[in-house]
């Protein structure tokens, strides 16, 4: 009986452990449906990109306080296109690729742009999951032999998003991001 209980306990514990790292758990992340364009208001987004700059985006303030499940609102119905430098990139615990991007006219103007993990639960249901996969491959093609992003001017097209305020390198004071990135290309080498 004791062996049976130990076996059941280990089985339950291992299943709980696995679910913490399982991509299907992505649906429990903050505003994940908005970030992956699987929310009910995604159909309202204007996907014709507005040409803008990071400096201009940093002046946009969210109309409301952002909570864990705040629905899409206001500026988040806009697709934008910016030209920028990529200061650095990293893959986060949630599988997203975070790009710290700077304005081409002012390197002190910094914000985040993100590519969701297309294998992550909710993102798999997005009609843009192929864009996410293609963009991740593009990022790989921009890496040099030491694994750093090659310098140059990049063009990023994506949907405006406001994240909850956090202390993270590259985060804008207002929480504005480009998330998700729908396309990325290199314009010039430096």
Name which of 117, 122, 59, 98 is nearest 178 in CA terms. 98
Superfamily of domain 26-189: Nucleic acid-binding proteins (2.40.50.140)
Q: Using one digit for the tens of pLDDT, what is the confidence trace for 6-24? A: 333 333 333 333 322 234 3
pLDDT at 95: 85
Domain residue ranges in the chain: 26-189
Nearest-angstrom CA–CA distance, 159 and 81? 9
Confidence of residue 26 (pLDDT cuts 50, 70, 90): low
- Under 8 Å between Cβ of 102 and 87: yes
pLDDT at 71: 97
pLDDT at 92: 85
pLDDT at 157: 98
Nearest-angstrom CA–CA distance, 156 and 181? 7
Nearest-angstrom CA–CA distance, 83 and 19? 39
Output the furthest CA–CA distance in the chain (Å, rounded).
71
Name which of 117, 115, 126 is nearest 38 in CA terms. 126
Mean pLDDT of 121-148: 91
* Residue 122: partners with Cβ closer than 8 Å, 6 or more residues away: 26, 27, 32, 33, 36, 38
Q: Using one digit for the tens of pLDDT, what is the confidence trace for 172-186? A: 999 999 999 999 999
Q: Using one digit for the tens of pLDDT, what is the confidence trace for 79-132? A: 999 999 999 999 888 889 999 999 999 999 999 999 999 988 788 889 999 999
pTM given for the model: 0.84
Confidence of residue 1 (pLDDT cuts 50, 70, 90): very low
For 113-146, give the DSSP string: EEE--TTSHHHHTSTTHHHHHHHHHHHHHTB-TT
């Amino acid at each position: 009986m004791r062996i049976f209980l130990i076996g059941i306990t280990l089985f339950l514990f291992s299943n709980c452990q696995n679910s913490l790292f399982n991509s299907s758990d992505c649906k429990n992340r903050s505003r994940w449906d908005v970030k992956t364009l699987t929310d009910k208001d995604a159909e309202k987004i204007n996907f014709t990109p507005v040409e803008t700059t990071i400096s201009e985006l940093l002046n946009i303030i969210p109309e409301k306080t952002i909570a864990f499940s705040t629905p899409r609102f206001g500026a988040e119905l806009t697709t934008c296109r910016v030209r920028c430098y990529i200061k650095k990139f990293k893959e986060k615990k949630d599988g997203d690729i975070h790009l710290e991007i700077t304005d081409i006219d002012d390197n002190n103007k910094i914000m985040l742009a993100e590519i969701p993990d297309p294998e992550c639960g909710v993102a798999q249901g997005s009609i843009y999951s192929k864009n996410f996969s293609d963009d991740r491959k593009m990022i790989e093609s921009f890496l040099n032999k030491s694994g750093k992003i090659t310098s140059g001017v990049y063009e990023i097209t994506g949907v405006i998003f406001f994240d909850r305020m956090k202390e993270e390198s590259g985060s804008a004071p207002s929480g504005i991001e480009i998330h998700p990135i729908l396309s990325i290309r290199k314009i010039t080498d430096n």
